[in-house]
């Protein structure tokens, strides 16, 4: 989500090539910890980074993103996300 804005669970399952229950379980833990926020829109639940995270947390996340951006599996996951057909934000949910 860092660097991508909001993502739907279906986008994460597609990009990470993992099953929805596993993704949802991890997202629930991130939500409970306050790292991400969720919002339901129709049949979709969107997740985004909590904009009220402390500066030091945002710094750690930014440094981590720079460190993994060019490597695997991040690069493949990001490519899979960007080439996903019928992405909710692009196809059906306005």
Full strand arrangement of the beta sheet holding 44-49: 7-8, 44-49, 36-41
CA gap 35, 89 in Å, rounded:
22
Structural domains in the chain, CATH included, are 7-91 (1.10.10.10)
Which residues is 38 bridged to in the sheet? Answer: 47
State pTM to two decimals.
Answer: 0.81
Tens of pLDDT, residue by residue, the chain (94 residues): 566 789 999 999 999 999 999 999 999 999 999 999 999 988 888 999 999 999 999 999 999 999 998 899 999 999 999 999 988 765 444 3
């Amino acid at each position: 989500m860092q660097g991508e804005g909001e993502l739907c669970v279906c986008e994460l399952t597609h990009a990470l090539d993992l099953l929805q229950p596993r993704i949802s379980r991890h997202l629930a833990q991130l939500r409970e910890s306050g790292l991400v926020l969720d919002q339901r829109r129709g049949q979709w639940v969107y997740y985004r980074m909590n904009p009220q995270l402390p500066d030091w947390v945002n710094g750690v996340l930014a440094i981590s993103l720079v460190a993994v951006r060019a490597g695997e599996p991040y690069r493949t996951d990001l490519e899979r996300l960007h080439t996903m057909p019928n992405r909710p934000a692009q196809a059906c949910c306005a």
